[in-house]
Amino acid sequence: MKLMKSLLLGSAAGFAAVAGAQAADLPARKAAPVEFVRVCSQFGAGFFYVPGSDTCLKVSGRVRADYIWNEPLTRASNTTTFRARGYLALDSFTPTDWGPLRATTRVYVTRDSGRGFNGNGVNLANVGNGAGSTNADVALDWAYIQFAGITAGRVAVSFFEFAPFGGVTYLGGGANGRGSDYGAIDALAYTATFGGGFSATIAIEDGTERRAAALVNGGATFLTTGVTAGNLNYAGHVMPDIVGRLDYTGPWGSAALTGAVHQIRTTGIFPAAGNAIGETDYGFAIQGGVKVNLPMLAPGDALFLQAAYADGANSYTGWGALGIGSQNLVGQAVITPDTVYDVLGNSHTTKTWSIVGGLLHYWTPTLRQGVAVAYGKHDAYGSFYDAAALTVATNMIWTPVKGFDIGAEVGYQRLTDVPNIVYSPVNAPTSLFGLQKDGWFGRLRFQRDF
């Protein structure tokens, strides 16, 4: 029995050896190569090669939560407002013989509660009903292509801008005389880069987004004459805004000089003149800005200063945009036109200016503070359209981990040089404002970038 068992085991071992030898003689089938995602570091952190191409892609995003407090004007005003916003961005670079070809886009979805919050933490004059919409708004933040010095599409910031409100606070500008901070706008531009940190840009931008107003709005009455004018609106858009820019960047900081030309093209009827008008005027704006690095105080510290002047182009100094023709400052609806027509249809462009300063200081590598001050003046034909605004704000931002900020901000705004009666932008002069000329606002923000 033992002999038989030994013979069987030996036979099995022999067959196994023969089978193994024969298998070794068969051709081997190689596994398909696996293309792993490769890091692309030449365009910055977070980029990777798209499999099967030489395009480098970065996927990023942001989640933001804001809690706003406004000094209420009336019992109908919202004192607190909530906001949630989510961003998604794609950024790509492809090497070419002409240099890198870039295509980038970012969209965001916003859900606001309540009404009466204009996005900058300032009360609106006409707040409503205390109830908010349950809908979320989707917006395109930017979408543009860059190639061989050309930029085409909706850019993140107008080429006219420098560092509005010091670049140190949560406040947006583009309103309330706080300096121009228009943000994203459709544009076509060419940038030439020279040696020594100098560059120059020439651009055309969408002028319809920069329109403030051309008075008279909807039957308003001129106090100086008592004559009621007819409807006067912007006519069709013909010439885009032309923007020029000179930049310098050095070890001490940076500086920029910008300018813009804005077309004012209107249509309407003046009963006093007895005829229709179709006027075309041109406004302009200039701005200078400087950023000074202050590493002697702390790494990352900087001082920002800028000043802007406009004649017939209010948006460029922060006194009107998006065709609304009025600015709501601490509850007052102040009409801010690009131009005012007299009863005979003669155009008188509005002069505006603003000065903005900001200081950014890092108390520790993870704790920073921004302080900003702005003053702006609006001087239109017929002094009852005049206004001036002083705005002061400060914040404290803590970054406990990279890409995550927790910040609190408080600000104050005061109107000066405002007539006793300020017209509402609709059905003036039946709606009167001017009972409150200053106000406080605050914000708590949580923001995660990834």
Tokens of 398: 């803590």
* Bridge partners, 370 (sequence order): 360, 395
What separation, in Å, do the N-terminal and C-terminal C-alpha atoms of the chain show? 74
How many angstroms separate the CA atoms of 427 and 220, rounded? 7
Is 95 inside any structural domain? yes
Query: Could you tell me where the beta strands, DSSP code E, fall in 271-325?
Result: 275-277, 280-293, 302-311
Q: Which helix (H) or strand (E) holds 379?
A: strand 367-379
Indicate the SS3 state at residue 117.
strand
Q: How far is CA 85 from the centre of its chain?
A: 14
Neighbours of 170 (CB within 10 A): 20
Considering Cα of 408, then 164, then 138, then 327, what sign does the dihedral take?
A: positive
Is 27 inside any structural domain? no
Indicate the SS3 state at residue 383.
helix
Query: Could you tell me where the beta strands, DSSP code E, fall in 216-300?
Result: 232-234, 241-250, 253-270, 275-277, 280-293
Q: CB of 332 within 8 A of CB of 297?
A: no
Is 41 inside any structural domain? no
How many angstroms separate the CA atoms of 337 and 324, rounded? 9
How many angstroms separate the CA atoms of 155 and 110, rounded? 20
Is the pTM higher than 0.85? The answer reads: no
Q: How far is CA 361 from the centre of its chain?
A: 23
Residues in the chain: 450
Which of 394, 326, 388 is closest to 355 using CA atoms?
Answer: 388
What CATH number is given to the structural domain containing 346?
Answer: 2.40.160.10
Task: Output the tens digit of pLDDT for each of the chain's 450 residues.
Answer: 444 445 434 544 444 444 444 444 545 566 555 556 789 988 989 999 998 899 999 999 999 999 988 777 656 667 788 889 999 999 999 999 999 999 999 999 998 875 444 443 343 333 333 344 456 789 999 999 999 999 999 998 899 988 655 556 665 433 444 566 667 899 999 999 998 999 999 999 999 888 876 665 433 443 333 334 444 567 788 999 999 999 999 999 999 999 999 998 877 655 554 555 567 889 999 999 999 999 999 999 999 999 999 999 988 988 864 333 334 444 445 667 788 776 666 778 889 999 988 899 999 999 999 998 888 888 887 655 677 888 888 999 999 999 999 999 988 887 776 654 444 343 333 333 444 567 788 889 999 999
Is 2 inside any structural domain? no
Domain that holds residue 353: 53-449
pLDDT at position 425, please?
40
Is 282 inside any structural domain? yes
Is 26 inside any structural domain? no
How many angstroms separate the CA atoms of 174 and 169, rounded? 14
Is 435 inside any structural domain? yes
Query: Could you tell me where the beta strands, DSSP code E, fall in 48-195?
Result: 48-49, 56-70, 80-94, 101-112, 137-147, 150-155, 185-193
Indicate the SS3 state at residue 437.
coil
Is 18 inside any structural domain? no
Q: CB of 19 within 8 A of CB of 50?
A: no
Neighbours of 250 (CB within 10 A): 11
Neighbours of 138 (CB within 10 A): 9
Q: CB of 59 within 8 A of CB of 20?
A: no
How many structural domains are present in the chain?
A: 1
Q: Which amino acid makes up residue 298? A: A
